[in-house]
Structures are given as C-alpha cells and as structure tokens.
Amino acid sequence: MFLENPEQIPEAIEKVHFAIFELPKNTEFPDIKQVINISPNDKNSIIIDDIHDIEELVRTKQSSARIIAFHHADRMTINAQNCFLKLLEEPGHHIHFVFFTHRANQLLPTVRSRAQTFSLKQITKIDSPPDHDPKIITLAKKYISAPPRQLVPLSQTLAKDREQALDMLDTTIELLYKSYFKTGNPKFLDKLAKLTKTHDNIAKNGHVRLQLVAGML
C-alpha cells in the first residue's frame, strides 16, 4: 500500500500487528509516541540479542509501550530476522511491531510476507510533470501505454544504456504515483509493484531489455 503523508503512519500502525514502512532515501523516520525504538549498534547491525531483549519484554509485559519500532530494519542480521519470525508466532495482542527502512527488498522474503508493507511517496504537485528530460518523459509515457507487441522494440532503444533505462523507470514510477494519487485507481498500484521490482533488477545488473519487457507484461 502507498501513503502520501507521514502523518498517516500512526493510524496505519494501529490497524496491523506487523508493518513495514519503506521511506524514500534521506527521509527521517517518524517520531512515534509510546514506542520502544531499536536501532543498529556500533557495527551498524541489529543482532539476535536485540530480538531476545524484545522477546523478554513482550512476554513479561514489563512495559506499557504498545509499539516496538526497528529503525533501519534492513540492517537486521539474518539470524535476527529468523528469531523475529519466531517472536511473531506468539504475539501479544497489545503490541504492534514496526520496521522502518529505506530498502525493504533487503529483508528476508519470509519476513516481508508476514507484514503489511507501506511505501511513502510524497507528491506535492500532482498535476505537474516530473522534473526530467522531456525525451525521458516521452519514453516513460510510451512505456506505460505500449501494447505487448511494442514493448520489445521500445526496450531495445534503452537496452544499451542502463543509466538511461533506470532514469526512464524512475520517471515512469513517478508518473504512476501521480496517476494513483490523482485518481485512486488500483490498476496503477499493480504496475508500480512490477516496475519497482524491474528497477531493482536492472540496478543489480539484470538484463535491461528482458527486464523492461517483463515489467509491463
């Protein structure tokens, strides 16, 4: 799901037992009232001992805090994430677990599958075009509306320039965000999920042409 305003986060937390909030880079994590915050240690990690401390706290109910928030949750070690999954098996109904991260895709799939994920995208001028090269905007619009038979030739124009392909995807994603917030049409959410994954795959040196085609099928 997508949130446009950080002020919506506390309300979203109250609706679910476990939530992941993915915020844009350089966006500060929100200050939530009545919360226990867990942050990376001096080695830039959240470790299994942190989870054990929370586990003891939750089970003994020594605190009145209802929200436990992990800041930079993507820095949680694999062992810590697996331990957290076990903690979720015996939840306290009065507790809400929250992960704040700039990189939700770095979390284990088993963790992401247990959470309700929210992505924050602030759109201040919905009717204004993205601040990108007009040629890139034109490509992005073609990419959004292209029928399947046109995806291959369109993707070939970007196949030799990974940075241009990523720039086009950034623009396409921004256009889709604006369309969703303007219309509320859920079809834009379906495309956003695919294109965000496409962007990640290409950024990780995935095959540009194949990823672009798969992203819109």
The more confident residue out of 36 and 34 is: 36
Does the pLDDT value for residue 47 go beyond 50? yes
Please give the residue that has the higher pLDDT: either 180 or 64: 180
Is residue 203 a contact partner of residue 166, using CB atoms and an 8 Å limit?
Answer: yes
Of residues 201 and 52, the one with the higher pLDDT is 52
Give the per-residue pLDDT at 65.
57
Of the candidate ranges 11-15, 19-23, 191-195, the one whose mean pLDDT is the lowest: 191-195
Q: Which of 72, 22, 27, 20 has the alpha carbon at shortest distance from 45?
A: 72
pLDDT in tens, 55-95: 887 776 655 558 999 999 999 999 999 999 998 887 566 78
Query: Residue 182 pLDDT more than 80?
Result: no
Look over the chain and give the mean of its residue pLDDT values, rounded to a whole number.
83
With a pLDDT cut of 70, the percent of the chain lying above it is: 88
Percent of the chain with pLDDT over 90: 22
Q: What is the reported pLDDT for 134?
A: 85
Predicted local distance difference test score (pLDDT) of residue 132: 67
User: What is the rounded CA–CA span in Å between residue 110 and residue 69?
Assistant: 19
Q: Which range, of 8-12, 48-52, 90-94, averages the lowest pLDDT?
A: 90-94
Give the model confidence (pLDDT) of 104-139 as tens digits.
Answer: 888 998 998 888 888 876 554 444 555 668 888 888
Q: 10 Å Cβ neighbour count for 151?
A: 19
Chain centroid to CA 32:
19
pLDDT of residue 45: 95
Rounded CA-CA distance 21/103 in Å is 10
Which pLDDT score is estimated for 78?
95
Q: How far is CA 141 from each of CA 121, 172, 202, rounded to the nearest angstrom?
A: 20, 7, 19
Q: Which of 6-10, 28-32, 190-194, 206-210 has the lowest mean pLDDT?
A: 190-194
